[in-house]
A and B are shown apart, each in its own frame.
Chain A
Amino acid sequence: MSAKKRIQQTDYRKSEKTEIRNCIRQYGKLAGGIAHDLNTILTTIYGYSEMALETLDGTSEAAKDIHKILLAADRARALTGRLMDLSRPAGGDRKTVHVSDIIEETISLIRPSIPHGTEVAGNIVSPDILVSADPLQLFRAFTNLAVNALQAMESTGGRLTITLERVSAGDRNKMKDGEYALIRFADTGQGMDKKTTEKMFDPFFTERRNGNGTGLGLSLVYDIISDLEGDINVSSEVNEGTVIDILIPAEKGKFASLP
């Protein structure tokens, strides 16, 4: 996407977005409490469903209905898992990590769910770049961004390119001096209008319907990158695609990979 075409650009490092960050933390605490209670209720649902199945003929209508209850419980379980993600502690367990490893793990994870007509490619320009981060949290952030990009290309197909390169502070405005890992998620999907790019990292904001999105994934990304004193820039154009740039301060030293 050319610079000229980047008609919708939002800088998420602006001071007014600090308010959103505080909001996310508050939502996170609330989400953790709700998830705790829901997990307890779900265990009861699983238990009574299992006990009922023990007394029924497996081919009966009642047994089939109970299997549907269990499937619904599984969906709720996935949702509480995402709520727990939002309530994770700030910072996490930081280590010095190779960003390229996390990108490769991300691509490996999403590869089985890449739809027909869509490509995903890694473009590792600086394979040796290190950052100080919780590798699991970074993996979650990258996975959320990649999955979001795939969903933006669901109906049209397209290409997601994840680029890693080293940039210096001089290349970017408003950043502290030093070197940064730039991780770029560029997709050729449906893109977003200005209103959507302004809200996309807000907690509980989602454009997905029918309960398919919680609106928590990207707010988690924002929180994780903010904790790392990083920066997120979004450029998007409707029907052209989206470019999300993640900047994380680079680190020197020994590295760790995903647990």
Chain B
Amino acid sequence: MAGVMVVEDDPALRGMLREALEKRKYVVITAGDGREAIAKFRPSVVDLVITDLLMPEEDGLMVIMKIKEIKPSTKMIAISGGGKAGPGSYLLMASKLGADLVFSKPFLPSELVQKVKEMLDKH
């Protein structure tokens, strides 16, 4: 089964996304910040990464760049709830850095999971 990494500093949201993805039988690896994500990333296991953008330690933009270096075929979904310049600016930057899809919080997790399925089915 395909592997999905969830990088999110909020433990409740991270846990919810894990549950939602595991219900769809994906192998899920979670990380609480960018540094942990890079350390836990396994190219043989992870096919898609869902990453928050504003996080302590390494942020989501760095996660996208580093993982794309390690395994360029990894699908990337960036999620963000905003920042000083609003959510649009970070998500736009994420797109430019290689995110295949962006979601602005709050979003419906069912829509995110559906997109994960579509992206991995094409994979």
Known: A43-B13, A43-B107. A88 touches B82 (CB 8 A): no
B29 CB to nearest A CB, Å: 18
Among B15-23, B62-70, B115-123, the one that faces the other chain is: B15-23
Residues of B within 8 A of A84 (CB): 82, 86-87
In terms of DSSP, what is the predominant structure of the interface of chain A?
A: helix
Residues of A within 8 A of B13 (CB): 40-41, 43-44, 47
Interface flag for A36 (CB, 8 Å)? yes
Contact indicator B54/A47 (Cβ below 8 Å): no
Contact indicator A39/B105 (Cβ below 8 Å): yes
Interface flag for B10 (CB, 8 Å)? yes
Residues of A within 8 A of B106 (CB): 39-40, 42-43, 45-46, 73, 77, 80
B81 CB to nearest A CB, Å: 4
Contact indicator A29/B110 (Cβ below 8 Å): no
Interface flag for A216 (CB, 8 Å)? no
Q: Which of A29, A32, A73 neighbours the largest number of chain B CB atoms within 10 Å of its CB?
A: A32
Contact with B along A34-56 (1 / 0, CB 8 A): 01111111111111101100000
- 11 CB < 8 A contacts A-B: A38-B81, A39-B81, A41-B12, A43-B105, A43-B107, A44-B16, A45-B106, A46-B107, A46-B108, A80-B106, A84-B87
Interface flag for A226 (CB, 8 Å)? no
A26 CB to nearest B CB, Å: 13
Residues of B within 8 A of A50 (CB): 20, 108-110
Q: Which of the four size classes fits the interface of chain B?
A: 20 to 34
* Interface pairs A-B: 3 shortest CB-CB: A39-B81, A42-B106, A47-B109
A215 CB to nearest B CB, Å: 20
Interface flag for A117 (CB, 8 Å)? no
Interface flag for B85 (CB, 8 Å)? yes
A30 CB to nearest B CB, Å: 11
B94 CB to nearest A CB, Å: 15
Interface flag for B84 (CB, 8 Å)? yes
Interface flag for A89 (CB, 8 Å)? yes
Q: Which of the four size classes fits the interface of chain A?
A: 20 to 34
Residues of B within 8 A of A87 (CB): 82, 84, 86
**A42 to B16 alpha-carbon distance, docked (Å):** 12
Interface flag for B83 (CB, 8 Å)? yes
Contact indicator A89/B82 (Cβ below 8 Å): no
Contact of B86 among A41, A42, A46, A88 (CB under 8 A): A88
Residues of B within 8 A of A51 (CB): 16, 19-20, 23
**A38 to B83 alpha-carbon distance, docked (Å):** 12
B116 CB to nearest A CB, Å: 13
User: Which B residues between 77 and 120 are near A, CB-CB below 8 angstroms?
Assistant: 79, 81-87, 104-110
Contact indicator A40/B105 (Cβ below 8 Å): yes
A70 CB to nearest B CB, Å: 9
Closest to B79 in A: A43
**A39 to B8 alpha-carbon distance, docked (Å):** 13
Closest to A35 in B: B82
Contact indicator B81/A48 (Cβ below 8 Å): no
Known: A47-B20, A48-B16. A42 touches B105 (CB 8 A): yes
Residues of B within 8 A of A38 (CB): 81
A35 CB to nearest B CB, Å: 6
Contact of A44 among B12, B86, B104, B110 (CB under 8 A): B12
Closest to B23 in A: A51
